[in-house]
Amino acid sequence: YVTQVRESYEAEVDISLNTTMKIFTVVTTIFLPLTLIVGWYGMNLKMPEYGWKYGYLFVGLLSLTCIAGIIIFFKRKKWF
């Protein structure tokens, strides 16, 4: 009886850990494109957007579009 109770408890802990890891994976995936964009802008390079009147607005909208697209994808897959 004790073995069955221990295995049941370990199964519950594993399910809880899997849920936590899924949430961390979703959050990491959401922030991955933003990290890439920030990395590009952190370099001391001449970016084409610097000359555009709406360059920073474009990058901001691109970032928001990436986030929205990833969240919609996860909602459709019922991961989030």
CATH of the domain at 21: 1.20.58.340
Predicted TM-score (pTM) above 0.85: no
How many domains is the chain built from?
1
Q: How many whole angstroms separate alpha carbon 73 and alpha carbon 79?
A: 9
pLDDT in tens, 4-14: 889 999 999 99
Find out whether 54 and 47 touch, Cβ atoms under 8 Å. Answer: no
Q: Give me the mean pLDDT over the 22-42 stretch.
A: 86
Whether residue 76 has pLDDT greater than 80 = yes
Q: How many whole angstroms separate alpha carbon 30 and alpha carbon 63?
A: 10
Domain carrying residue 66: 2-76
